[in-house]
Amino acid sequence: MKIYKAYAKVNIFLKITGKRENYHEIISRFMRVDTLYDELSFAPKTKDGFEIIGDFSCATEQNTIYKAYKALLDATSSESLEKLMRSYAIKVDKNIPTFAGLGGGSSNGATYLKMCNEVLHLGLSNNELAKIGSRVGADVAFFVYGYGSANVSGVGEIVEEFKEELLEFEIYTPKVEISTPKVYQSYRENFYDPIDGFKAYELKNKSSLEILQSMSIDEANDLFKPAMQEYKELKEHYRAGFHFSGSGSSFFRATHFASEVFRNAI
């Protein structure tokens, strides 16, 4: 069976631009992490019903892959999709930590949509798959497009490729399970200070390298302070020079340009 890679991402920056009903609108730079990915494949079933084989703590109905299946079925009414999932399970070899701000669930959901589109010859474009994916999770659209780097805005549904060299990262994820809704709620109640359009435009046009070199962890990510407030144990894990991905709990820093930074400082 063919194996499909579901890559992780980091948020180079994440800034709030406003509110839309119960959601926060953002501007963020997503960058794919080529060295960290889950592996998905179709596998023989071991039980009846929709089956996901893998190390997951949530119920199947709460899994992003299952939600992607339901959204795809709703959008296409495909009998071949129903037949496929009656015949096969989805096997997931997990490498991306959960509750980590690295997009593992969203990447799994997007990869599942692309797998089904390919094997069933559904003929859906990336734009169509991204629209379906946006009903599943805020970050799914980014992973559908497969860009290495992109500016993501709105509530995650607007994805604009940003052409730049991909960076290599050192990532570590403390064993702190963070609730993204809880962090956003804390931001809204205690830290709400959306950036204006001029600042958003400026950030959208800066390279990821420039941003990481010029912005501190809390300047780059509006969710860092609320996450630290709600999960005080994070303070024990913060290291100087690292940035914060999404709502956490992962910290990261770029590694392969460290010597360049050193040369420029001499």
Q: Tell me if 239 sits within 8 A of 245, measured CB to CB.
A: no
Q: How many structural domains compose the chain?
A: 2
Range(s) of the domain holding residue 14: 4-161
Q: What is the pLDDT of residue 189?
A: 95
Average pLDDT over residues 247-254: 95
Indicate if 28 and 121 belong to the same structural domain.
Answer: yes
Indicate if 134 and 45 belong to the same structural domain.
Answer: yes
9 is catalytic: yes
Q: What is the pLDDT of residue 140?
A: 97
User: Among 129, 161, 193, where does a domain finish?
Assistant: 161
DSSP 150-166: EEEEETTTEEEE---PP
Confidence class for position 261, pLDDT limits 50, 70, 90: very low
Name the active-site residue from 9, 15, 67, 114: 9
Q: What is the pLDDT of residue 257?
A: 53
Name the active-site residue from 15, 67, 114, 139: 139
Q: Is the pLDDT of residue 262 over 60?
A: no
The secondary structure element, H or E, covering residue 219 is helix 217-220
Q: What is the mean pLDDT of the chain?
A: 93
Q: pTM for the full model?
A: 0.92
